[in-house]
């Protein structure tokens, strides 16, 4: 199996993120929240400053890249959300790279990075019909709450 690494992209490398969020197949899981997401170049600077240059520790963002070639296959992130009382995580693998174990690797890498950064618990609110709930369970997350819209998964690091 190909091994992934976390990679801190430069501002000029955000085209991969733009393409990832614009891909209907990749974003199909997000249908309840509108599907694809626009990420135009004019938003990159502000977004980058908040997610990659802010040193407060409230946000973390990296690309998931193949170790050998450096090809990006997805993204991994977390951010503090007071409404959920913790750090909400996000792992997104491009549709064309799914089914190869990259979601699990990405989630494990993200958990390790969060732990190293002093985060003690991660949560994720997953749409009720999203099959990734099983991935989270396999990575040690447990169900904390279930509503008609989402399942809140959590893991103590």
* 125 phi and psi angles, rounded to 5 deg: -95, 110
**pLDDT tens-digit map of 125-135:** 998 888 899 99
Class of domain 4-115: alpha beta
Is 111 buried (19+), middle (13-18) or exposed (0-12) by CB count in 10 A? buried
Among candidates 118, 144, 117, 119, which has minimal Cα distance to 133? 144
Which residue ranges of the chain lie beneath pLDDT 70?
Answer: 1, 31-33
The pLDDT of residue 90 is 94
For residue 84, what pLDDT is reported? Answer: 87
Side-chain half-sphere exposure of 29, counting CA atoms within 13 A:
19
Query: Would the pTM of this model clear 0.85, i.e. be above it?
Result: yes
Supply the pLDDT for residue 33: 67
Question: What is the structure's pLDDT at 29?
Answer: 79
Q: Indicate the domain borders of the chain.
A: 4-115
pLDDT confidence of residue 56: 87
């Amino acid at each position: 199996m190909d091994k992934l690494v976390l990679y801190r992209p430069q501002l000029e490398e955000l085209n991969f993120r733009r393409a990832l969020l614009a891909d209907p197949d990749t974003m199909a899981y997000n249908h309840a929240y509108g599907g694809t997401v626009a990420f135009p170049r004019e938003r990159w600077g502000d977004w980058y400053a908040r997610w990659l240059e802010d040193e407060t520790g409230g946000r973390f963002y990296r690309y998931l890249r193949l170790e050998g070639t450096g090809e990006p296959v997805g993204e991994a992130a977390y951010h503090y959300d007071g409404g959920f009382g913790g750090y909400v995580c996000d792992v997104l693998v491009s549709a064309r790279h799914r089914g190869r174990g990259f979601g699990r690797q990405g989630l494990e890498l993200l958990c390790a990075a969060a732990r190293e950064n002093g985060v003690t618990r991660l949560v994720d609110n997953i749409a009720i019909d999203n099959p990734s709930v099983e991935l989270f369970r396999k990575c040690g997350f447990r169900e904390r709450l279930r509503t008609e819209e989402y399942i809140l998964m959590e893991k103590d690091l």
